[in-house]
């Protein structure tokens, strides 16, 4: 069992080749995930960028790392600049290169610096904080398969929270990594200009039909949700459509285990 004590990150070993790297000292409670194969490793998202997540991945593996970006929002691309191989869905290539659309830097700096409960590193300066921008190594599409040696990951395009949002299914373990499409405690966001309520509900329906899911790992809050939640998701999709709620301005809709805000 790996035991890493760190001043900013919390590391939890999910199994002998899978690790959650969490930032519980920030109100977002962001999770990134390291999946180790026999030939390569995959890092799903790189966190807030308040501190350098590479410090943790270097302690967990010496294999070459591929970064798979669930979506190009500041809280998931914070340490992208520390890695050579970065992949993003084709619909958010422009966001990664030219910046996140319709989100002012003033708002980002306000959000990254508020409600922090543990000391931040001296290198973190909110006033000059800027999300990563750069060219990706490659682009992802729906249905792509990533082989890392005795471990195959399937890419699902799941837009709604953002245009190029993806979910990632680990076929060998049954783990479904849902980024900001599905998590608990706080609402899933689909109420700001770059979101799409219709696409979000379509994406929720899409993941609810993925077979052999054993565990759900969202990008925020509780670490590891029971796969039975996908049944609740299926019911929620039906209810939202039948009640004509899938549109901007209808508010927060609560279901058993999760909620959505349009």
* Averaged pLDDT in 10-residue chunks for the chain of 262 residues: 92 97 98 98 98 98 98 98 98 97 94 96 95 97 97 98 98 98 97 96 98 98 97 98 98 98 98
Is 119 contained in some domain?
yes
Q: Are 178 and 139 in contact (CB under 8 A)?
A: no
Is 196 contained in some domain?
yes
CATH of the domain at 209: 3.60.15.10
Is 237 contained in some domain?
yes
Report CA 139 to chain centroid distance, whole Å: 17
For residue 98, the model assigns a pLDDT of 97
Is 49 contained in some domain?
yes
Domain count, the chain: 1
Is 4 contained in some domain?
no
Is 2 contained in some domain?
no
Is 211 contained in some domain?
yes
For residue 197, the model assigns a pLDDT of 98
Is 228 contained in some domain?
yes
For residue 1, the model assigns a pLDDT of 81
For residue 156, the model assigns a pLDDT of 98
Q: Is the pTM of this model over 0.75?
A: yes
Q: Are 215 and 177 in contact (CB under 8 A)?
A: no
Among 140, 138, 131, 141, which Cα is nearest to 98's? Answer: 131
Domain span at residue 16 reads 10-261
Pairing of strands 145-147, 225-226: unpaired
State the Cα–Cα distance between residues 26 and 22, nearest whole angstrom. Answer: 10
Q: Are 134 and 81 in contact (CB under 8 A)?
A: yes
């Amino acid at each position: 069992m790996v035991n890493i004590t760190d001043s900013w990150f919390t590391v939890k070993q999910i199994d002998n080749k899978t690790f959650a790297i969490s930032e519980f000292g920030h109100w977002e409670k962001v999770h990134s995930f390291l999946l180790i194969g026999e030939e390569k490793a995959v890092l799903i998202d790189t966190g807030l960028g308040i501190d350098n997540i590479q410090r943790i991945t270097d302690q967990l593996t010496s294999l070459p790392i591929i970064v798979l970006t669930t979506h190009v929002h500041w809280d998931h691309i914070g340490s992208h600049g520390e890695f050579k191989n970065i992949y993003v869905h084709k619909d958010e290539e422009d966001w990664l290169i030219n910046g996140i659309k319709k989100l002012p830097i003033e708002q980002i700096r306000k959000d990254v610096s508020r409600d922090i409960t543990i000391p931040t590193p001296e290198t973190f300066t909110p006033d000059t904080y800027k999300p990563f921008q750069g060219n990706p190594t490659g682009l992802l599409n729906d249905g792509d398969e990533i082989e890392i040696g005795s471990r195959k990951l399937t890419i699902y395009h799941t837009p709604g929270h953002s245009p190029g949002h993806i979910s990632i299914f680990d076929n060998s373990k049954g783990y479904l990594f849902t980024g900001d499409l599905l998590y608990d405690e706080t609402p899933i966001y689909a109420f700001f200009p770059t979101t799409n309520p219709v696409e979000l509900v379509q994406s929720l329906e899409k993941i609810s039909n993925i077979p052999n899911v054993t565990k759900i790992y969202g990008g925020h809050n509780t670490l590891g949700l029971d796969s039975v939640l996908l049944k609740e998701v299926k019911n929620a999709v039906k209810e939202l459509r039948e009640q004509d709620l899938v549109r901007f301005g209808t508010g927060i809709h609560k279901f058993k285990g999760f909620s959505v805000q349009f």
